[in-house]
Amino acid sequence: MVRKTASIKDNRLVPVDQDSILKMPAN
């Protein structure tokens, strides 16, 4: 999960990653 979070952060560059992940299921 941490790895995916880092990827999303780099892609979207958004500090609100945890909230997005909590709303969307990490597929």
CA distance 8 to 10: 5
Residue 15: phi, psi to the nearest 5? Answer: -75, -5
Q: What is the dihedral sign for C-alpha 27, 1, 12, 25?
A: positive
Residue 27: its pLDDT value, please?
Answer: 52
pLDDT of residue 21: 63
pLDDT for position 7 = 60
Q: What is the mean pLDDT of residues 1-27?
A: 60
Is-above-0.85 flag for pTM? Answer: no
Q: What is the pLDDT of residues 1-12, one digit of tens each?
A: 556 665 655 655
State the pLDDT at residue 11: 59
**Would you say residue 26 has pLDDT above 60?**
no
